[in-house]
């Protein structure tokens, strides 16, 4: 059985050859998701959904820790409610799916399938909020939403997707502002700690902000092909929605005030982000903290392995499970060890344990890292402790590697020539001064297919004149081609 490195290359397109195709191949071959008979809609398969569940659990814990509670609001929103906030409806109108009939009967009022829930939640908040004592109101919901997309891609952009949307109401602008920034911080911490995905946090420009928001913040990650991915957004809605939905409360000074609101969301798109941040030519690489299986054990069938090897493998699995490690013991007989190695590497399992007669003779097992393919023997009685440490190290190494990649693909430029040159070469973030005018922003977008991803939260003084017009720069911003 010669090792045929090129055998499994045929399973997925090499990343360097065609990144988009590589991505699609990984999603399908790793059984994260599949196309469905519904145009633009995908099926999240059990393995992909398991990743989402781990993300959910971790995010949800962070929401609870910051005082939020979960609730559930309706899927359908009456047209009249969506229309209340002018900018909001204008922003979402091209993307909404309409429900016009119930059975055979035409509805008196059309319903939209929620593209987001500000309208329905605002309506309810108006009923629930009367006094400053009712504030802050901190509610999150886990839900599906529908946005009629023209072009779709698995996880990154589908007509229906899963997400969480937080909706809060506060007494003052300052509180709402603090909340929006606090949740942006939660997102950043989540992306970096759990997904090992470094992100740049900042404020969106006027043209890129959420329809109906006063300020939109985002975290932006850099994918393996040098394009940026918006990984989460947090909006300070001001009183835009509270004024149209009549969310009023009696303030401490007895005056009647409109509530200050925020909303923030993260979606299943992040799964796509994880794939494009860490994956390689062999397939997926999952950060241990969101890996459905953190360790796969492959017993080596030799001789009467059922009596000799398998019991040791089962003991190892039990010990790891007891230590809180998510383990898969792959004892299928119809596949060879080599096949299993390739399969679980493709599916991104962070660590593999090979255990055979030779190992058992030495009371050890061979542990192999997915990211570096480094092999190291570990005594069987130390497995649990050693693997926990290895998983933590791997998690950290993935973040470090992604961080280095991002920094290697971030350039600071101060002239228009250098800017255009930077974007012609390998893509990535380009930090450059901008005058703050929308005209320059759209000009760059039209000419360079490059957008301002966001403006740093504490913008340093501009390092020069605007990259586009040369006028005094207002601030340095992050540019990138994006998903």
Partner RNA sequence: CGGGGCGUAGCGCAGCCCGGUAGCGCGCCUGCCUUGGGCGCAGGAGGUCCCGAGUUCGAAUCUCGGCGCCCCGACCA
- Which of residues 44, 181, 191, 346 is near RNA by CB under 7 A? 346
Token pair of 466 as six digits:
């605007």
Task: Fill in the DSSP letter of residue 114.
Answer: P
- Which of residues 56, 336, 414, 471 is near RNA by CB under 7 A? 336
Are 135 and 249 in contact by the 8 Å Cβ rule? The answer is yes
**Site stretch for RNA (CB under 7 A), options 48-56, 76-84, 145-153, 430-438:** 145-153
* CA 260/CA 135 separation, integer angstroms: 10
Nearest distance in Å: CB 135, RNA:
26
Q: Which of residues 380-439 bind RNA (CB under 7 A)?
A: none
Distance of CA 404 to the CA centre of its chain: 19
End-to-end CA distance of the chain: 42
Q: Of 30 and 467, which has the nearer Cβ to RNA?
A: 30
* CA 269/CA 154 separation, integer angstroms: 8
- Which of residues 158, 240, 242, 263 is near RNA by CB under 7 A? 158
**373 near RNA, judged by CB under 7 A:** yes
**464 near RNA, judged by CB under 7 A:** no
**355 near RNA, judged by CB under 7 A:** yes
Q: Of 205 and 395, which has the nearer Cβ to RNA?
A: 205
Q: Which of residues 19-48 bind RNA (CB under 7 A)?
A: 19-21, 23-24, 35, 39-40
Nearest distance in Å: CB 19, RNA:
7
**Can you list the alpha helix ranges (DSSP code H) found in 196-288?**
240-245, 269-278
Residues 6+ apart with CB under 8 A from 359: 300, 365, 366, 377
- Which of residues 56, 58, 66, 95 is near RNA by CB under 7 A? 95
Nearest distance in Å: CB 445, RNA:
6
Token pair of 171 as six digits:
């007494």
**359 near RNA, judged by CB under 7 A:** yes
Taking each helix axis as running N to C, give the angle between helix 173-193 and helix 46-65, from 0 to 180 degrees, rounded to the nearest 10. Answer: 140
Pick from 259, 404, 285, 210: which is nearest to 26 by CA? 285
**94 near RNA, judged by CB under 7 A:** yes
Three-state secondary structure call for residue 453: strand
- Which of residues 45, 60, 141, 338 is near RNA by CB under 7 A? 338
**Site stretch for RNA (CB under 7 A), options 60-68, 149-157, 187-195, 402-410:** 149-157
- Which of residues 168, 267, 277, 294 is near RNA by CB under 7 A? 267
Nearest distance in Å: CB 134, RNA:
29
* CA 391/CA 320 separation, integer angstroms: 12
**Site stretch for RNA (CB under 7 A), options 176-184, 246-254, 261-269, 284-292:** 261-269
| Type and span of the H or E element at 441 | helix 438-448
**483 near RNA, judged by CB under 7 A:** yes
Site string for RNA, 288-317 (x = CB under 7 A): ------------xxx--x------------
- Which of residues 187, 210, 434, 478 is near RNA by CB under 7 A? 210
**279 near RNA, judged by CB under 7 A:** no
In the block, tokens 């059985």 appear at 1
**Site stretch for RNA (CB under 7 A), options 177-185, 350-358, 403-411, 461-469:** 350-358
Task: Fill in the DSSP letter of residue 243.
Answer: H
Which residues does residue 153 pair with via DSSP β-bridges, in sequence order?
Answer: 157
- Which of residues 2, 103, 324, 461 is near RNA by CB under 7 A? 2
**Residue 396 phi, psi dihedral angles, 5° rounding:** -65, -40
Taking each helix axis as running N to C, give the angle between helix 383-408 and helix 305-322, from 0 to 180 degrees, rounded to the nearest 10. Answer: 70
Nearest distance in Å: CB 145, RNA:
8
* CA 466/CA 90 separation, integer angstroms: 31
């Amino acid at each position: 059985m010669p090792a045929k490195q090129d055998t499994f290359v045929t399973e997925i397109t090499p990343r360097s050859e065609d990144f988009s195709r590589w991505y699609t191949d990984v999603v399908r071959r790793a059984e994260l998701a599949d196309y469905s008979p519904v145009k633009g809609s995908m099926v999240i398969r059990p393995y992909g959904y398991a990743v989402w569940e781990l993300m959910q659990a971790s995010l949800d814990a962070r929401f609870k820790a910051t005082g939020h509670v979960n609730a559930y609001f309706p899927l359908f929103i009456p047209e009249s409610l969506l229309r209340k906030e002018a900018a909001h409806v204008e922003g979402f109108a091209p993307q909404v799916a309409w429900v016009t009939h119930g059975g055979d009967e035409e509805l008196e009022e059309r319903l939209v399938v929620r593209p987001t829930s500000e309208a329905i939640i605002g309506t309810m908040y108006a009923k629930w909020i009367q006094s400053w004592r009712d504030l802050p109101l901190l509610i999150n919901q886990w839900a599906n939403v529908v946005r009629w997309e023209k072009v779709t891609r698995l996880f990154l952009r589908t007509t229906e997707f899963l997400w969480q949307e937080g909706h809060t109401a506060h007494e003052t602008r300052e509180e709402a502002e603090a909340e929006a920034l606090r949740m942006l911080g939660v997102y950043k911490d989540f992306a970096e700690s759990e997904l090992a995905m470094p992100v740049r946090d900042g404020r969106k420009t006027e043209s890129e902000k959420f329809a109906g928001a006063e300020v939109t913040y985002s975290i932006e990650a850099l994918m393996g092909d040098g394009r940026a991915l918006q990984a989460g957004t947090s909006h300070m809605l001001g009183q835009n929605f509270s004024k149209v939905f009549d969310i009023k409360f009696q303030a401490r000074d007895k005056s009647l005030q409109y509530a200050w609101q925020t909303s923030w969301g993260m979606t299943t798109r992040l799964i796509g982000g994880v794939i494009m941040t860490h994956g390689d030519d062999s397939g997926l690489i999952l950060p241990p903290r969101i890996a459905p299986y953190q360790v796969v054990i492959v017993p080596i069938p030799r001789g009467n392995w059922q009596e000799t090897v398998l019991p040791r493998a089962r003991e190892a699995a039990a010990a790891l499970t007891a230590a809180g490690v998510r383990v898969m013991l792959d004892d299928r007989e119809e596949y060879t060890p080599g096949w299993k190695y390739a399969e679980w590497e493709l599916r991104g399992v962070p660590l593999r344990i090979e255990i055979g007669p030779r190992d058992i003779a030495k009371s050890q097992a061979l542990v192999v890292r997915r990211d570096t393919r480094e092999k190291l023997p570990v005594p069987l009685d130390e497995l649990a402790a050693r693997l926990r440490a290895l998983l933590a190290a791997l998690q950290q190494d993935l973040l470090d590697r992604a961080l280095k990649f991002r920094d290697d693909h971030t350039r600071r430029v101060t002239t228009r020539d250098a800017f255009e040159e930077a974007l012609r070469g390998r893509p990535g973030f380009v930090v450059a001064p901008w005058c703050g005018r929308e005209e320059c922003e759209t000009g760059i977008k039209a000419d360079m297919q490059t957008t301002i991803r966001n403006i740093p939260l504490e913008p340093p003084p501009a390092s020069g004149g605007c990259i586009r017009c040369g006028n005094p720069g207002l601030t340095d911003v992050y540019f990138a081609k994006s998903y």
